[in-house]
Amino acid sequence: MKTIRLKVGKERSLLRRHPWVFDSAIAKGSGDAGETVRVESADGQFLGWAAFSPSSRIRARIWSFEETQRIDAAFVHQRIAQAVAARAWFDIRSDGVRLVHGEADGLPGLIVDRYGDTLVAQFTSCGSEKFKQAIADALLQVTGLTRLYERSDASVRQLEGLPEVTGWLRGQGATELTIREHDWQLTLDVATGHKTGFYLDQRDSRQRFFEHARQRRFARVLNCYCYTGGFTVAALAGGAGHVTSIDSSGPALERARRHVRLNGFDEARATFLDADVNTTLRQCIERGERFDAIVLDPPKFAPTAAHAERAARAYKDINRLALKLLVPGGELFTYSCSGGISVDLFHKIVASAGADAGVDGFITERMQGAADHPMTLAFPEGEYLKGLIVVRR
């Protein structure tokens, strides 16, 4: 077993059970891509067993902090079984569920979502790639399912020196699926949809938007970066009078239209715009339009902290425009899925947007990813999705 030894003082985060070892923390030692290595402090103290990533700044990801632990197929099976069993703790009103959430479930670089009878896995680290076949076998054994699709096409694989890979790992069949979420039906394609096919992390936020629409009786709703219309369906289900949905993807908008029909809503209550969000928001202001509720759920502007400054300007601009478009008492549901934007920074960005817009508001709720996308005490970086519900004063 190869060993990597850390520089003096660099063991502190691992003693707090943080699962990452950065390249700058390593004094000596190396390994092959995905190889399990022993991690030691400068004085030789055992710290953990890790998967080595020679191309990544995160040079090693901890599998286990227990010195007696053997990292093999049985270990992978046990971790997957624990992750799947943990989902029974949560009140998940959907047959679309995240079963494995990377470091939070002790399986760094592995994402697994279940959509009905189909599993979708994303291998984003050298370690998870190394155990791919063992992981596939364990997933089918633990869930009792027979179909597993791979969506290892996330950009983070480039940082690991890994090529993009997609296709059936186990089983075969149609990639177009329909899932149930709350009382709605939503469709996706696991081969072409964003992430593993759908944004399961916003399940709870869509439910809250439905509840607010039902309580507040929104007359006019604007859903920006609507993708396939999850928030649009939630608003219409809550009784919103009319929802305008904006996205720059024609195929996504067509699926959003299908969702309106699939759930039995009057299509006259929904308008879909294939357009740039910033441009459309400015045009709405020029026309003097106002909305009772606006959703801002943009793509990832800052994948890492290095992109935070530029991303902050983009977030601020869209929030400034949206706050101007709200009627007094109107609600803004605003989100950031950027790992490089912290919760505190996002709050400051929205506050600055309000100041520039000449608008004040009450923050009535803070939102985060659904419960099956957990953040652990030792790994705060897992909190990539954050949101605010702001009521314009």
Catalytic residue ranges = 337
Instruction: Provide the 8-state DSSP code for 7.
Output: P
Contacts with 33 (C-beta within 8 Å, 6 or more apart), sequence order: 52, 53, 54, 55, 126, 129, 130, 160, 161
Secondary structure of 253-286 in the HEC alphabet? Answer: HHHHHHHHHHCCCCHHHEEEEECCHHHHHHHHHH
Q: Distance between CA atoms of 133 and 138, rounded to whole angstroms?
A: 9
330 within 8 A of 292, measured Cβ to Cβ: yes
**Pair of tokens at residue 89:** 């703790």
SS3 state of residue 244? strand
Q: Residue 195: which H helix or E strand, with range?
A: none
Q: Distance between CA atoms of 365 and 105, rounded to whole angstroms?
A: 27
Give the dihedral of Cα atoms 349, 355, 361, 363; nearest 10 deg: 20
Which burial class, exposed, middle or buried, applies to 296 when counting CB atoms under 10 A from its CB (0-12, 13-18, 19+)?
buried
Which residues face 365 on adjacent strands? Answer: 389
Closest to 199 in 3D by CA, of 185, 188, 191, 208: 188
Contacts with 287 (C-beta within 8 Å, 6 or more apart), sequence order: none
Instruction: Provide the 8-state DSSP code for 131.
Output: T
73 within 8 A of 66, measured Cβ to Cβ: no
**Pair of tokens at residue 387:** 């949101």
